[in-house]
């Protein structure tokens, strides 16, 4: 009798459908002729799961008494072993058995079934894995009660992920298919938040992918495979803006399509000489293609494309490089002088893919040489020696020619040397040719003496012509270099302008781009006052450490660009070339414009705020002239009637008038309070007195005077305090609850407390607490969400009795004044959820002094 097989259905969260999947598989096996028995399965009242269970034979579970005195079902492993089915369904693999059971853990019961040759179908959630318990608890703020060691789970023969999208799982929860109705709102506000479910789903996928890697490693070991099989790659592709670069991009994408967790990075090396074949339109098309393929684009500066590409690849921890190989440069590849050859030679442990294409593109611009380049200069000197000697030897073999003809032949060789090597090789060729002509062709032959003065003049003209041609070639090459450099500078400025238009360009983002472009260790922005004797102050920097100030910069490794007398851009880490300095000047000019743009933006915000304040004040005057007159008129009429006809009015009429006066007075008080609060918010004078405050204390005070028959509060017993002004927080909660009761009449308003969440706005560094106020009314259309927080806005032209539309505006203003956020979310199933987020307090909270902890209720 062999050992049975274990198949585990893994889910990201309870309700993902693992039990349903296990029972469905059991039904399929039973329909195929297998003997199936259900040891234990938790249907949780779900009709579709219960329907599957009814078609299977179930072994009655044991009824046990829990520590709390309740009855619970436990697996009867003995009865299941006695029945000896082919397949057993045992739900909840990580379940901890009750005291007195056969084994302390359910997975130990399953081990007995497997040893008896019974196949088992079981279920598991990722938070029940011992290695992931803390990670999941940090995300959901809920720790699993029972866990199972990972090595036990990895011994399973089959692990199948039961995947469900987070939105669909939240919908299942909202429909009551996972929890009872009274627990739905709390679940959606806590562990079943959309971000939590995305994180749990990713954790489940990564854990399962790691197990796949383990299986692959075991297979390679059993088969004796030693060759490298890369499974996760980061590929860098070198671009030049030429049309054939699309071939490189698609080849890199095909390489990555076979790898898990891979990343595509495209880099364009922009040197001081722009490649003539490069096209900005082509680069834009390539950027769009890379973005569509899920990659990212980068630009670096450097005169040596191969070295710059390798430095970028190493800085990004790349595993592969894809570059173009030119079929038309065979000789340079053979001599090892090409970009591709250098990349291959110096790549080290980075794999290099040379991709050839019929358009003879190169994937990267060739190295921009100084002057004509070392290779051409060396070739010129070699030809300067060979060509005159070769021409003399060839002319000596033929019939005898006159001196003019021989000079023209030698001049042709000098011109060839000038075009290849430039000025000094051509001068050498001209001098050597002149000496050879003098020695072999002018009388007296065999000496360097010249007897005929005309021959002296001819040789001087010959030498002058060679030097003149050399000078023309050198001048044209310098003009070509200047034009190329100008194209490179224009392209860099175009990159900066495009980035500023396509993205919200900030100083921090600009410094990141500058550090990447010039491949330096750090980039920093320094400013100083109008007094030039004042010291420099660091405003922002990018890199592991801040660069030195301009007055302390090193002449070797630091580069300072003064955008103006008060602004400096400092790059630290390597010495820039003269071409890089020109590009740095362009960056400095752009930085100056960026800072001016920031100043204008701040002034615009200030002006806009003043305009909004004037608008609010005008609206307040309008409200005073209309909404405040109504309750005042009602109070005046009731008081007048009581004074004039008090003795003639029945007691019930008098009581009704007094109630009217009281109602209008309360309404008037609320209107005035909201108007004053809105005035504080709009003027910026709402200064909070922050102190540790608990949600429970704030809710108790906020709900005083509000009918609570449709309000349900669900707070965990040990929620930590938040940093808030107690008076402001009371007003925020009260306004939101009153608004929910007005616009969702008849439905319950649920107040749920959440904590321990990382603030996405602060890179996950600041934890905050959340209070969710949930209603199940008609909700708010997405197009009206922004207007909902504007002063004097009421949904769908609500009647006057619902206020003047300041409640949410005041709530949002007070929340932001306390350093928090007020975020609306649609309630699953219909309605609106208002989320109050405030930073968790790091100070000590004493419940006996909660009134002193914050300001008085406003």
525-540 residue pLDDT tens:
888 876 666 788 888 8
With contact defined as beta carbons under 8 Å apart, do 355 and 239 qualify?
no
pLDDT number for residue 494: 59
Lowest model confidence (mean pLDDT) among 449-463, 505-519, 748-762? 748-762
pLDDT number for residue 780: 80
Half-sphere exposure (Cβ direction) of 579: Cα atoms closer than 13 Å:
26
Given a cut of 80, whether residue 480 has pLDDT beyond it is no
Residue with tokens 């309630």: 827
pLDDT number for residue 369: 43
Q: How confident is the model at residue 260 (pLDDT cuts 50, 70, 90)?
A: low
- In this structure, how many other beta carbons lie within 10 angstroms of the beta carbon of residue 696? 16
Nearest Cα neighbor of 517 from 545, 548, 542 is 542
- What integer is the mean pLDDT of 709-723? 84
**What's the pLDDT tens digit per position in 601-619?**
778 877 776 776 666 566 5
- What integer is the mean pLDDT of 639-648? 76
pLDDT number for residue 739: 82
pLDDT number for residue 122: 93
Given a cut of 70, whether residue 817 has pLDDT beyond it is yes
Superfamily of domain 234-356: HUPs (3.40.50.620)
- What integer is the mean pLDDT of 298-310? 79
Given a cut of 60, whether residue 29 has pLDDT beyond it is yes
Cα 301 from Cα 270, distance rounded (Å): 5
Nearest Cα neighbor of 562 from 535, 537, 587 is 587
Residue with tokens 């300041």: 806
Nearest Cα neighbor of 110 from 133, 87, 144, 83 is 87
Domains of the chain: which residue ranges? 6-223, 234-356, 379-478, 504-602, 627-680, 688-853
- What integer is the mean pLDDT of 98-109? 84
Instruction: Report percent pLDDT > 90 for the chain.
Output: 4
Cis geometry, peptide bond prior to residue 320 (ω within 30 degrees of 0): no
Q: How confident is the model at residue 9 (pLDDT cuts 50, 70, 90)?
A: very high
Cα 344 from Cα 346, distance rounded (Å): 6
DSSP state of 174: H
Reduce the secondary structure of 623-636 to three states and give it as a string: HHHHCCHHHHHHHH
Q: 264 has which bridge partners?
A: 235
Q: How confident is the model at residue 28 (pLDDT cuts 50, 70, 90)?
A: very high
* First vs last C-alpha separation in the chain: 78
Element (H, E) at 534: none
Nearest-5° Cα angle at 355, 349 to 356: 145
Residue with tokens 């860098």: 236
Lowest model confidence (mean pLDDT) among 99-108, 258-267, 668-677? 668-677
With contact defined as beta carbons under 8 Å apart, do 835 and 812 qualify?
no
Fold classified for 688-853: Heat Shock Protein 90 (3.30.565)
Q: How confident is the model at residue 62 (pLDDT cuts 50, 70, 90)?
A: confident
Given a cut of 80, whether residue 243 has pLDDT beyond it is no
Nearest Cα neighbor of 375 from 423, 329, 332 is 332
Task: Select the highest-mean-pLDDT range: 50-59, 266-275, 440-449.
Answer: 50-59
Fold match between domain 6-223 and domain 688-853:
no
Cα 807 from Cα 735, distance rounded (Å): 5
Cα 570 from Cα 562, distance rounded (Å): 9
Given a cut of 90, whether residue 121 has pLDDT beyond it is yes
Q: Which alpha helices (DSSP H) does 318-444 contain, by range? A: 330-334, 339-346, 374-397, 403-421, 423-441
Structure tokens that stand for 359 in this block: 């358009």
Instruction: Report percent pLDDT > 70 for the chain.
Output: 73
Given a cut of 90, whether residue 268 has pLDDT beyond it is no
Given a cut of 70, whether residue 289 has pLDDT beyond it is yes
Residue predicted with more confidence, 516 or 327:
516
pLDDT number for residue 361: 43
Given a cut of 70, whether residue 357 has pLDDT beyond it is no
Cα 173 from Cα 14, distance rounded (Å): 10
Number of H helices, E strands in the chain: 27, 24
Hey, what CATH class is 6-223 in?
Answer: alpha beta
Lowest model confidence (mean pLDDT) among 127-136, 190-199, 559-568, 797-806? 797-806
Structure tokens that stand for 349 in this block: 């442990």
Lowest model confidence (mean pLDDT) among 276-290, 495-509, 716-730, 771-785? 495-509
**What's the pLDDT tens digit per position in 182-201?**
778 777 877 788 878 888 88
Q: How confident is the model at residue 752 (pLDDT cuts 50, 70, 90)?
A: confident
pLDDT number for residue 626: 52
Q: 349 has which bridge partners?
A: none
**What's the pLDDT tens digit per position in 651-697?**
888 888 888 888 778 767 766 776 666 666 655 556 778 889 888 88
- What integer is the mean pLDDT of 417-431? 79
Q: How confident is the model at residue 362 (pLDDT cuts 50, 70, 90)?
A: very low
At a CB cut-off of 8 Å and minimum separation 6, what does 450 contact? 438, 442, 443, 456, 459
Length of the chain: 858
Look over the chain and give the mean of its residue pLDDT values, rounded to a whole number: 75
């Amino acid at each position: 009798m062999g050992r049975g097989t274990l198949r585990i259905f893994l889910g990201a969260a309870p309700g993902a459908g693992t039990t349903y999947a296990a029972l469905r598989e059991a039904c399929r096996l039973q329909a195929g002729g297998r003997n199936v028995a259900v040891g234990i399965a938790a249907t949780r009242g779900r009709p579709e799961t219960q329907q599957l269970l009814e078609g299977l034979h179930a072994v009655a579970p044991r009824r046990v008494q829990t520590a709390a005195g309740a009855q619970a079902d436990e697996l009867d492993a003995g009865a299941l072993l006695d029945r000896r089915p082919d397949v057993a369904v045992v739900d909840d693999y990580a379940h901890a058995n009750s005291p007195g059971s056969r084994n302390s853990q359910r997975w130990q019961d399953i081990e007995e079934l497997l040893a008896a040759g019974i196949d088992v179908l079981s279920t598991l959630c990722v938070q029940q894995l011992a290695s992931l318990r803390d990670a999941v608890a940090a995300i959901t703020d809920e720790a699993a009660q029972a866990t199972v060691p990972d090595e036990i789970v990895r011994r399973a023969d089959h692990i199948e992920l039961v995947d469900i999208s987070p939105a669909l799982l939240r919908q299942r929860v909202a429909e009551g298919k996972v929890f009872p109705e009274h627990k739905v709102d709390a679940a959606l506000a806590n562990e079943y938040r959309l971000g939590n479910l995305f994180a749990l789903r990713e954790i489940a996928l990564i854990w399962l992918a790691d197990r796949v890697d383990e299986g692959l490693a075991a297979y390679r070991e059993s088969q004796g495979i030693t060759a490298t099989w890369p499974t996760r790659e980061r590929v860098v592709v070198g671009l030049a803006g030429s049309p054939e670069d699309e071939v490189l991009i698609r080849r890199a994408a095909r390489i990555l399509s076979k790898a898990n967790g891979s990343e595509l990075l495209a880099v364009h090396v922009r040197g001081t000489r722009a490649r003539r074949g490069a096209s900005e339109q082509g680069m834009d098309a390539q950027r769009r293609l890379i973005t569509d393929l899920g990659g990212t684009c980068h630009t670096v500066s450097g005169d040596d494309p191969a070295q710059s590409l390798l430095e970028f690849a190493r800085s990004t921890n790349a595993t592969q490089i894809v570059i173009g190989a030119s079929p038309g440069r065979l000789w340079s590849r053979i001599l090892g002088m090409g970009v591709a050859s250098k990349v291959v030679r110096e790549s080290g442990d980075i794999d290099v893919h040379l991709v050839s294409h019929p358009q003879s593109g190169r994937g990267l611009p060739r190295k921009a040489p100084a002057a004509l380049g070392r290779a051409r200069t060396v070739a010129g000197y070699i030809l300067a020696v060979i060509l005159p000697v070769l021409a003399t030897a060839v002319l000596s073999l033929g019939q005898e020619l006159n001196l003019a003809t021989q000079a023209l032949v030698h001049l042709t060789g000098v011109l060839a040397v000038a075009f290849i090597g430039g000025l000094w090789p051509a001068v050498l060729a001209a001098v050597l040719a002149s000496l050879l002509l003098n020695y072999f062709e002018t009388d007296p032959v065999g000496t360097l003496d010249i007897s005929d003065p005309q021959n002296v003049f001819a040789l001087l003209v010959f030498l002058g012509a060679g030097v003149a041609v050399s000078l023309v070639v050198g001048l044209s090459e310098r003009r070509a270099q200047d034009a190329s450099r100008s194209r490179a500078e224009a392209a860099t400025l175009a990159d900066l302008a495009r980035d500023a238009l396509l993205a919200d360009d900030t100083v921090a983002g600009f410094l990141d781009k500058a550090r990447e472009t010039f491949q330096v260790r750090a980039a920093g922005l320094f400013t100083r006052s109008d007094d030039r004797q004042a010291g420099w102050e660091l405003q922002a920097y990018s890199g592991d450490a801040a660069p030195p100030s301009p007055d302390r910069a090193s002449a070797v490794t630091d580069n300072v660009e003064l955008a103006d007398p008060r602004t400096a851009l400092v790059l630290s880490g390597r010495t820039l070339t003269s071409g890089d300095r020109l590009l740095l000047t362009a960056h400095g000019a752009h930085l100056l414009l960026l800072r001016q743009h920031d100043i204008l933006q701040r002034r615009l915000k200030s002006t806009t705020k003043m305009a909004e304040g004037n608008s609010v004040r005008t609206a307040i005057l309008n409200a005073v002239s209309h909404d405040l007159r109504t309750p005042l008129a009602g109070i005046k009429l009731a008081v007048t009637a009581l004074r004039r006809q008090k003795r003639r009015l029945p007691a019930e009429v008098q009581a009704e008038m007094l109630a009217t006066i009281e109602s209008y007075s309360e309404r008037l008080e609320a209107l005035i309070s909201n108007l004053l609060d809105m005035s504080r918010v709009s003027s910026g004078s709402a200064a909070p007195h922050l102190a540790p405050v608990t949600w429970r204390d704030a809710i108790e005070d906020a709900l005083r005077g509000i009918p609570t028959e449709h309000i349900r509060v669900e707070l965990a017993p040990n929620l930590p305090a938040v940093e808030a002004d107690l008076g402001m927080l009371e007003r925020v909660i009260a306004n939101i609850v009153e608004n929910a009761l007005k616009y969702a009449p008849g439905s319950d308003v649920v107040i749920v407390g959440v904590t321990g969440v990382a603030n996405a706005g602060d890179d996950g560094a600041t934890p905050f607490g959340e209070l969710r106020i949930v209603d199940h009314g008609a909700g708010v259309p997405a197009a009206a969400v922004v207007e909902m927080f504007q002063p004097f806005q009421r949904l769908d032209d609500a009647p006057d009795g619902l206020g003047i539309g300041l409640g949410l505006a005041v709530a949002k203003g007070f929340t932001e004044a306390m350093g928090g956020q007020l975020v609306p979310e649609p309630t699953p199933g219909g309605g609106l959820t208002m989320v109050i987020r405030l930073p968790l307090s790091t100070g000590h909270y004493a419940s006996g002094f909660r009134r002193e902890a914050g300001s008085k209720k406003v």
